[in-house]
Amino acid sequence: MAVDASGGAARVEAGEGRPEAPAEYGARRSRPAWLVVTGRELRDLWLGGRALVLLFAYSVTLSVTTYLTATNEALNFLEQREAVSLTLQVAVAIGVLLTLLAAADAISGERERGSLESLLLAPIPRWSLTVGKGLAALSLWLAAFVVSAPYVWYLGRGVNVVTTSLLNGFLVGGLLALAMTGLGLVISTFASSNRVSLSVSVFVLLALFAPTQMPSSAQRGWFGDLLLRVDPFTAALRYLGRTIINARTFAQEGHWLIGPAIVAGVLVVAAVAVSTRLRLGTGGR
């Protein structure tokens, strides 16, 4: 059953016991609605402690990865570049996973906690809810990138790849985080429960990572090359490896980011488009 904002408000005034829209949405009309939603979601995510727990687990994983690579006494010049590339790829992959988990919880989590109806009654466009929640989810990637910077500096300070690694890591991670935010929001909008939303999101993420493990023989030919370029993770991580390990430039390897950029754009647009289908239940109920 779709919830109409004006109709819902009328029923509240009639005393039918429906929850009221959050007061902050009506009290801050001078600010863009999506910005108000973003502020609310950031408070819930960070002050509520969920983001801090995820970020702590992220930093522990990154510390272990960095320790294992830094204590290898056989490192030479080229291997140090590989260590930086490996650590940065792990940082990007896990940081993007955190963003996906936050986005996958955005709508289905509100629905499961019984707080979605009050948001739908708010006198703001539905797309503002999606944009605000998406920006809050992206804050996890930004925080993860900041945490990863000292690790990249520590491993790459002796081979002069710190600046290149951080710039390219931010670019690649930003594209993948945008794509996974859009994906998580789309799945969360239609999922019947929060558990379903999180499970499907993680399954899709693992499926997208699968081509990165393809044997070199399967990557030959036009089909193998097309698959590598279409899959956002394979293409993005290949770009990252070539710019760090092989010291290639963006002009030389930037074509690998065309696929991730297109996928990110399509998924973000899709997330905003399906926001008009926000419901208390799923399947139009």
Is residue 190 domain-resident? yes
CA–CA distance, 1 with 249 (Å, rounded to integer): 53
Q: How many CA atoms lie within 13 A of 142 on its CB side?
A: 8
284: in domain: no
The answer to whether residues 126 and 275 touch, using CB atoms and an 8 Å cutoff, is yes
Specify the number of domains making up the chain: 1
Among 36, 44, 87, 84, CA closest to 64: 87
**How far is CA 231 from its chain centroid?**
16
DSSP annotation of 284 reads: T
CA 163 to CA 247: how far, in whole Å?
12
Structure tokens at 62: 């990154």
Q: What is the pLDDT of residue 208?
A: 87
Residue 160 sits at φ, ψ, to 5 deg, of 60, 45
Q: Answer left, alpha or beta for residue 49, where phi above 0 means left and psi between -120 and 50 means alpha.
A: left
271 inside domain:
yes
Rounded alpha-carbon distances, angstroms, from residue 273 to 160, 186, 198, 258: 44, 9, 21, 22
- Residue type present at position 275: S
Query: What pLDDT, on a 0 to 100 scale, did the predictor assign at position 150?
Result: 95
For residue 183, what are the domain limits? 5-277
pLDDT at position 209 is 84
Domain assignment present for residue 55? The answer is yes
Name the residue among 92, 100, 101 with its Cα closest to residue 148. 92
Work out the burial of residue 201: count CB atoms within 10 Å of its CB; fewer than 13 is exposed, 13-18 middle, 19 or more buried: buried
| DSSP classification of residue 43 | I
The one-letter amino acid code at 179 reads A
Position 1 scores a pLDDT of: 37
Establish if 137 belongs to a structural domain.
yes
Residues 6+ apart with CB under 8 A from 85: 165, 240, 241, 244, 245
Encode the chain (285 residues) as per-residue pLDDT tens digits: 333 434 433 333 334 444 555 555 554 557 888 899 999 999 999 998 889 999 999 999 999 988 888 877 555 555 888 889 999 999 999 999 999 999 999 999 888 888 888 888 878 888 999 999 999 999 999 999 999 999 999 988 888 899 999 999 999 999 999 999 999 999 999 988 889 999 999 999 988 888 766 666 555 665 667 777 888 999 999 999 999 999 999 999 999 999 999 999 999 999 999 988 776 665 444
In a domain, 282, yes or no: no
pLDDT of amino acid 3: 38
Predicted confidence at residue 228, as pLDDT, reads 79
Taking residue 253's Cβ as centre, other Cβ atoms within 10 Å add up to 17
The model carries a pTM of 0.83
50 domain-assigned: yes
Look at residue 283 and tell me if it is in a domain. no
- Closest by alpha carbon to 208, among 216, 218, 200? 200
Q: Tell me what pLDDT residue 59 has.
A: 95
pLDDT for position 26 = 52
State the pLDDT at residue 216: 62
